[in-house]
A and B are shown apart, each in its own frame.
Chain A
Amino acid sequence: MTGGDKQRLREVRAAIIGNRPDKSRSDALYPVYVAVITAGAYGVPAAQQLFRSLDEKWLAAHAWTPAGVIVAGTVTVLLLTLVRLVGRVRGPVVPPLPYLDLVVASPMPRRVTLGRNWRLSLGGSIIGGLLVGAVSGAGLAIANVAPPILLLPDMVGGGLLGLLVAELWLQGQVHASSPRFQTDSSLPRGRRNALALLDITSLRRQAASNVTMGGAVLAGDLRTVRLDAARPTTHARRVRLRASGPRVVIARRDLLGLRRAPWSALFGLGLAAAGSAGLMLSLQSPRTPTVAPLVSLVLAYLGFGAWCEGLRLHADNSGTSRMLGLPYRDTALAHLVVPVSAWVVSVIVVNAAFWLARLVPPTAFVWALGVGALLAGSHLMASFRGMPPPGVFGPNAGVPALIFWYARPLLATLVVGTAMTAWAARIAAPWVAFSWLLLLTAGVVAWGLALVGKRDARR
């Protein structure tokens, strides 16, 4: 990179800005300002409330043990792996399309033309990490769980984590570049040349996807976001779907779909196993904090959802020419066979392992089965919810209304599942809570089926 390149980029930026005042600095600082205000106003109170709700004895017994550290470490590694995967879909360096076509495609070095975008993402990630550290440290101190001095190492740790996140994010984006170009020996390798390794095709793809996803998020169209983010399937093309009866073939279709998306299947298995394990353990002590079944249900919801792609694709296709011989509702129910079976199998395995380790009784299995029905109902709701009603875009509604509308299936799972699990852990006759769980689950399933009927009637 030469001084001449930097000078040329300054001239290009001046040409882009024209006679308007240069607001790039204030545009970059404004999100930081909003993030700091949000962290102070909402983050710290929420964090201290969370830490207050934790039972100190439970925390000492579970969190500050080697097992607790291993769990925390595993979760961190999984989250960092997820960051790298996100980089393949939407990396930290995604300039607007016109800038890509007119400036990045020019002979100027990519380190120069893409440098500003990278520095913005890097700075944002580090500041985000610092804020997370500050919020958790302040929350711990205010709740009297840890001394205020912990705030400093928390912030430093958060900042370092932010740096690591940015680096892995970029690594994911570099990895998403065309493999043919990645092995080009004429380009210098290594982290310092990461920006130079980004090819224009993958940059354009991510920029175009960024526009599509941005519009879809603003319009509340999560289906478009999901389809745009998913990589097209190319695995196991020679494996053929076996002909079967009308309902069995739908289940076979879903199994084949999971075979062709093995990461999705494994992701679902890992999360469902972790979620069901957390639920069964949560039942064992009245001292278990309510946040334990809550987090377990979030994991279980995500894991179950990873197996529901067939159900979502069926819902996506409503309104098009129908080719299948099964009625719409029956097809939807047949698409639940694979995720429900996978949940049952994972619950049996986890329960057997815990029972052998004398951590839970075999009856905990029954509770997890009831939660499986709840997950099936909430995923029916999620798959067939359709587009948000115009009311949530109104001037009196705003983003929280949109988020609430979308989160209803997850909220139904969390409210019913958490309340019943926490109650069952605290009463002498858990079967009463189980009966209520089944009753409320029936309501969630009925809600899901009503949404299926509504989509079926959409003509």
Chain B
Amino acid sequence: MLGSRAAAVSRPAGQLLRATGVGKKIDEAVLLLPTNVELGAARCVVLRGPNGSGKTTLLRILAGTLPPSEGEATLDGSPVDERHEATRTAIAALIGAPATYRDLTLVDHLVLIDSTWGHAGPRADERSDEILELLEIDHLAERFPHELSSGQQQLFHLSMVLVRPSSILILDEPEQRLDTDKRGLLTQILLDRKADGSSLVVACHDPAMTEALADTIVDIQPA
């Protein structure tokens, strides 16, 4: 299984992602009330809450792309900061649309990502094909991103985050724009990742996915 290989490559045992009283304010606007999250190895935390409650803000803080106004987010005791190699190596995040090159096909993107993580050679091609097959979009391998439907775009973005090695996956509403079958497929892929030792933080509005994935549910209160 591809998920297990990716996890096995880089996963230091027992990495712990913790947010202690993290909140975010911009001037007088409160984006996130102080919140606690603790994520252990092979566990899944699902964030729930109404629109505007701060789920994406919390995910960005946990991914180290947004500094909190109060509290602290740490990875194994060190502050989470996306600019640090240790953070980037451990955490793969899909928060909003990721960077894509309009002149590369889907499979080219995956080969590029895999190569920049040091996985050159014929295995990079195989891994890219396997990921596309896993998400049932292998027939779109030679399409360019602008030639995809919105649901296919979402699956492509998920393939980009799944192909890179990581021990913690942070996903913002990964079920968006997916049909019922694809939501089931994604749930199974994420469960396999968890079984292989990866940890997950997922903001999710789908009750069935939440039920299947969550070890802990954090309800975010609107500010």
Instruction: Return the chain A residue nearest B124 by Cβ.
Output: A243
- On whether the beta carbons of A233 and B120 are closer than 8 Å, the reply is no
Q: For residue A243, which residues in chain B have a CB less than 8 angstroms away from its CB? A: 111, 114-115, 119-125
Q: For residue B139, which residues in chain A have a CB less than 8 angstroms away from its CB? A: none
Q: How far is the CA of A309 from the CA of B103 in the complex (A)?
A: 9
Instruction: Return the chain B residue nearest A334 by Cβ.
Output: B116
- On whether the beta carbons of A321 and B99 are closer than 8 Å, the reply is yes
- On whether the beta carbons of A249 and B115 are closer than 8 Å, the reply is yes
Interface residues of B in 76-119 (CB under 8 A from A): 82-83, 85, 88, 92-105, 107-108, 111-119
Q: For residue B124, which residues in chain A have a CB less than 8 angstroms away from its CB? A: 243
Main secondary structure of the interface of A (DSSP, over half): loop
- On whether the beta carbons of A456 and B105 are closer than 8 Å, the reply is no
B101 in complex: contacting residue of A245, A310, A321, CB < 8 Å: A310
Q: For residue B104, which residues in chain A have a CB less than 8 angstroms away from its CB? A: 241, 253, 256-257
Q: For residue A232, which residues in chain B have a CB less than 8 angstroms away from its CB? A: 102, 144, 146-147
Interface centre among A232, A316, A321, A327 (most CB of B within 10 A): A321
Interface code A307-322, partner B: CB below 8 Å = 1, 0 otherwise? 0011001101100111
Distance in Å from the Cβ of B99 to the closest Cβ of chain A?
Answer: 3
B160 interface contact, C-beta 8 A: yes
Q: How far is the CA of A233 from the CA of B105 in the complex (A)?
A: 10
- On whether the beta carbons of B105 and A320 are closer than 8 Å, the reply is no
A250 interface contact, C-beta 8 A: yes
Q: How far is the CA of A245 from the CA of B112 in the complex (A)?
A: 10
Distance in Å from the Cβ of A330 to the closest Cβ of chain B?
Answer: 9
- On whether the beta carbons of B115 and A244 are closer than 8 Å, the reply is yes
Interface code A216-257, partner B: CB below 8 Å = 1, 0 otherwise? 000000000001001011100110111111100110010011
A34 interface contact, C-beta 8 A: no
Instruction: Return the chain A residue nearest B65 by Cβ.
Output: A459
A15 interface contact, C-beta 8 A: no
A237 in complex: contacting residue of B88, B111, B115, B143, CB < 8 Å: B143
A326 interface contact, C-beta 8 A: yes
B96 in complex: contacting residue of A227, A241, A257, A321, CB < 8 Å: A321
Q: For residue A326, which residues in chain B have a CB less than 8 angstroms away from its CB? A: 116
Q: Which residues of A contact B (CB under 8 A)?
A: 227, 230, 232-234, 237-238, 240-246, 249-250, 253, 256-257, 260-261, 309-310, 313-314, 316-317, 320-327, 331, 456-457, 459
Task: Name 11 interchain pairs, CB-CB below 8 A, sorted by A.
Answer: A243-B111, A249-B111, A253-B108, A313-B102, A320-B97, A321-B97, A321-B161, A322-B88, A323-B164, A325-B118, A459-B66
Sample of 6 more A-B contacts, CB < 8 Å, known A243-B119, A246-B116, A321-B63: A243-B122, A245-B118, A253-B104, A261-B103, A323-B113, A325-B164
